[in-house]
Amino acid sequence: MAFSRPSYETRQAIEEIVLTAAAFLDEKRFLDWAELFADDAQYEMLFKSKELRDIDDYVMQFNKEELVSRMKLLPNYVIDTAKRLHAVSNIKIEVDEDRAACTSRFTVYRTLEDGTTSLYAVGSNDDALVQRAGHWLFLKRRVVLDTRKLEAHTHMPLQ
């Protein structure tokens, strides 16, 4: 495939889905977030393990069905009560007809009940997107965390 720079409209549409995904997580609209993924999509979150010779150390791996199932279960869990803010930056996009490749950087902040805010996690997104029925959807989202030592654990995807 020959990827190239997107048109202004395409760039806007793809940026829109990337930023909407972050906004849905901010708002804990987990099922809406999962619906941004195509039916044959894959989601993975991992970090490069310094302790284990830089292997890809996967911490979440879901197909679409599993992703939806996890999002449905989330309200049943005792989840982190902190408010999370998911900021996305450095978005780069290339397209090839109905396919797109998008990379971005992310920062997640946590604000506790008492109003204290801390930096929680940083990393990058490596996304493959597909256009179906006129809408761009995630076909694969690979979330690579730089942060390996967490302040609190998470049932929730970080991106």
43: nearest Cα among 134, 156, 149, 147: 156
Q: Least CB distance from residue 81 to other proteins, whole Å?
A: 8
Q: Shortest approach of other proteins to residue 62 CB, angstroms?
A: 9
Please report where in the chains the tokens 């849905």 appear, as a residue: 24
Structure tokens at 155: 């049932």
Q: How far is the CB of 86 from other proteins (least distance, A)?
A: 15
- The residues of the shown chain that bind other proteins, judged by CB under 8 A, are 45, 47, 49-53, 55, 57-61, 66, 69-70, 73, 76-80, 148-157
- What does the buried/exposed string (b/e) look like for 14-37 if buried means 16 or more CB atoms within 10 Å of the residue's CB? bbebbeebbebbeeeebeebbebb
CA-CA distance, 20 to 26, in Å (whole number)? 10
Q: Which is nearer to other proteins, 16 or 151 (CB)?
A: 151
Q: Which is nearer to other proteins, 37 or 47 (CB)?
A: 47
**Which of 73, 87 has the CB closer to other proteins?**
73
